[in-house]
Amino acid sequence: MMQAKAPLFDAVFDSPVGRLGIVLEGDALRRLSFLDRRTGTRSAGNAAAGRVQQAILAYLAAPETLPAVPLAVAGTPFQQRVWAALQAIPAGQVLTYGELAAQLHSGARAVGNACRRNPTPLAVPCHRVVPSKGIGGFAGHSSGRLVAVKRRLLAREGVEIR
């Protein structure tokens, strides 16, 4: 039986919210993944990966502004609209799925699905969208390590959600 080949990251590095892996398309960020410690670190393979890594780390140190990195993300037109709206939510603020859906003349579930498929969390801050009660999920997970990451990201921005 063939094993699936591990994704090739342009860099894998430790951050205040855990180990991160980045994949670039040219100089643009295509994917950011939250990894566990089983994935070894990997130095930035080129100058562009080094710049993206440093921009992400700078954002995590001072989350007032999003990482200034070009994005190369593929998605449906609706997903692109949601991801653009996420980038407009200021640090330290949250919207509910319903509030964002109303802004986009859509449904909360559709917004949640677009958030779940966000390939570049942090650069597109889907952690700033929560349900009307509680913290909700993060990166396609409804509990566990990644929801704890969402809680830490919000806390770094001064937002506490019980």
**HSE-up (13 A, CA, CB side) for residue 147:** 13
- Mark whether 115 is an active-site residue: no
Nearest to 46 by CA among 27, 74, 68, 62: 27
- Report whether 70 contacts 29 (CB < 8 A): yes
Whole-number Å distance between alpha carbons of 128 and 70: 20
Catalytic choice (126, 129, 130, 154): 126
Nearest to 60 by CA among 10, 104, 13: 13
Q: Which of the residues are catalytic?
A: 126
